[in-house]
Chain A
Amino acid sequence: MKMHKIAMAAACSALLAGTASADVSVGSLMGFTGPIESLTVGINASAEMAFKEVNAAGGVVGGNMINLVTADTTCVDASAAAAAADRLVNSDKVAAIVGALCSGATIAAANSAAIPNQVVMISPASTSPAITGLDDNDLVFRTAPSDARQGSVLASVLKKRGVSKVAVTYINNDYGKGFNDAFVSAFKSMGGKVTGSQAHEDGKADYRAEIANLAAGGGELLVVLAYLDGSGQTIIRQAIEEGDFSRFVGGDGMVGQSIVDAIGGGLEGMVATRPGGSSDGASRFTKMAGEAGLKIDGAFQAEAYDAAALIALAMQFKGNVSRNGMARAVREVANAPGEVILPGELGKALKIIANGGQVNYEGATGVEFNEAGDPPGSYLVMEVAGGKFVERQVVR
């Protein structure tokens, strides 16, 4: 009896692995180098945390251990992203992909490797509105909400704080362009004035000409829609040094401790939005991450956990670890009806599914996919105070 229990518990994986089932690989396609490299570490670790939880509960589909294979998109280089996705799909034979992070990388990876090979991608961080309209055979999902909404959330936050004239600079890629369009039109429709909206290229050492032109137009503050380890940081540093702007606002790509450390006191009072909420699931995730020794200091970690959890539950749902039927299974486990599943309950969810029950994975971010595979999303308003980003309010 005792022997039996032990075997049923943690060690069952070892026994089963030897007999019936092999392990299954899932890809982690992320920007390990490049302008969001400091965020990527935590995002990847969060996805890994979900799979560890699943493996500790005995794996999926009769004891398959999930093995996370990483690949680097570099975030800004579409051809590098496509090559990395190609490697995951065709060489590592992954069952599904968590990623990519940067929107341009996600689009490139989806079009070149995932869609042609019928592999599901769940991006925890791509927020460009362009992904909604991707012709993807329902293969591309995301747990981060579209910037079409973040733009209007950010605009209303600024209006409420009494800001009426802003200058905007955005990174010249899918993320920046989509975000800028959404923000500028929302801010104007609320009666605000945009004194200048200018794209910039990532990776340059000097943005002073761009900043000076924006400053020439006036504006109470500078809205920087870029990445915190790339042009976003450089632009803010040089704007402060030149005395052109002293107040800054950002989007989800700018939230992280690394930029606060790099800029210092000049960043105090910076406001930024990022996907997130104060739901039960979110606080459970934060607590779990803390116990696992994971620092929650940037955006998209809860989204990554959810993306990974969905892939594991979907495999369990369809009863095999192949690529076939993955997209439909993801929808089945993510959307109602079924028993609500929060972070930390993956073992329970696997058991329910194994017994023929239905689950509705809510997770840390309240996952529910619409037709396009987008979540509804709520946002956190963050502000730099006392040398770190603190949460100010939740916008639904």
Chain B
Amino acid sequence: MIEIDANNTLLSIRDLVVEYSSAGEVIHAVNGVSLELEKGRSLGLVGETGAGKTTIAKSILRILPSPQGRVKGGEILFCGEDILQRPESRMLEIRGEKISMIFQDPMTALNPTMTVGEQVAEVVRLHSDAGGADAQKVALRMLKRVGIMADRYHDYPYQLSGGMKQRVVIAMALVFKPELLLADEPTTALDVTIQAQILEVIRRYKNKFGTSMILITHDLGIVAENCDTVAVIYAGRIVEAGTRDDVFDKPAHPYTVGLFQSLPGYSKGQKRLRPIMGLPPDPRQAPAGCSFRPRCPRAKEGCGEADIPERVLSPTHSCRCLYPEVH
């Protein structure tokens, strides 16, 4: 385990295991994930579809689909409090006030039959003593902060573009200055110029209020520009973690290396890309040994036997590989 300053830790996840059951089958979504996040910092959680990124975020907020999704083990310490052990009444306080989440598709978070201003005001009323007019005032101020002017207060979601809707969702998520923001692919559905605007809004807010963030994305460029630390997740396991510079300058796990090499533009002038061969494993079959082994160019004997232990590469950098890339 990498050494961290315990006093400054906001979130600490230890050995989290999450399963879904569907039609009699068990899907192993998260297989023993440990993560640390310090106050005021941003962690980029990177991985491909189905790697378990969103499941981790939903576990933190305890909003896994019930009864299919279950946390089978581990702990999630938020400010030292194991939120997996707390009653739902406590979670109602934590959600929105201490921890908020932004989803990829803003429409999953917006009510189509309510004006956007009222939706923000509703959040204010639910979580504070502010009444009608006061809540409206807070909502207006918050909307303005994310770049939505007062004349849009009475608009319905359908009257706003995707970027504007995402701004409303951000306003709702940040109105109580949460300590932790879970941003799950917040700009994936948006065009790049709008993406730049939204990331700028989040960045400015974070800097002002010292909010911590877990940014879930498949886009390494977004991580490079917005995160202090990075965790690369594959088949429900963190295969590499470190500071941004550790992972970008010295990617150690063959999967991380493969992700970079797959990017057009990683090695300029090279005509053929270097994709990762094959596909991620079937999450229904609990993999023995390294789950990346079938696709790994470096796999050798021993990779398929036992779980791969964490290997500390530097005080801030670790990976789960027997034969990591040496820099």
Do A and B belong to a common assembly? Answer: no
Chain B residues within CB distance 8 Å of chain A? none
**Which residues does A use to contact B, with CB under 8 Å?**
none
